Amino acid sequence: MTIVAGCDVGSLTSKAVIMNGRKIIASNIIKSKPRPKDSAEAVIASALEIAGVAMHEIDHCTGTGYGRDNIPFVDQVVSEISCHGKGARWMMPSAETVVDIGGQDCKAIKIDRRGHIIRFVANDKCASGTGRFLEVMAKVLGVTVDELGRLSSRSRSPVTLASTCTVWAQADVIKFINSGVAIEDIGAGINTAMASRVAILLNSVKPEGDVFMTGGVAKNIGVVSTLEKLIGRKITRARRVDPQAAGALGAALLSMEALNGNERAKK
Q: Which residues bind other proteins (CB under 8 A)?
A: 66, 78-82, 105, 116-122, 124-125
Q: Counting Cβ atoms within 10 Å, is residue 167 exposed (0-12), middle (13-18) or buried (19+)? A: exposed
Beta-ladder partners of 98: 109, 212
Task: CB nearer to other proteins: give 31 or 119.
Answer: 119
CB of 117 to other proteins, least distance (A): 4
Task: CB nearer to other proteins: give 122 or 140.
Answer: 122
CB of 118 to other proteins, least distance (A): 7
CB of 244 to other proteins, least distance (A): 18
Cα–Cα distance, 229 to 215 (Å, whole number) = 20
**What is the SS3 assignment for 236?**
strand
Cα–Cα distance, 174 to 166 (Å, whole number) = 12
Q: Which of 45, 20, 18, 19 minimizes the C-alpha distance to 30?
A: 45
Residue 130 identity (one-letter amino acid): T
Task: CB nearer to other proteins: give 124 or 240.
Answer: 124
CB of 192 to other proteins, least distance (A): 25
CB of 124 to other proteins, least distance (A): 4
**Phi, then psi, of 209 in degrees rounded to 5:** 60, -155
Contact indicator for 264, 258 with CB cutoff of 8 Å: no
Task: CB nearer to other proteins: give 60 or 219.
Answer: 60
Cβ neighbors of 156 (< 8 A, separation 6 or more) are 184, 185
CB of 138 to other proteins, least distance (A): 24
For the beta carbon of residue 33, count every other beta carbon within 10 angstroms: 16
Cα–Cα distance, 26 to 33 (Å, whole number) = 21
Task: CB nearer to other proteins: give 125 or 229.
Answer: 125
Task: CB nearer to other proteins: give 26 or 248.
Answer: 248
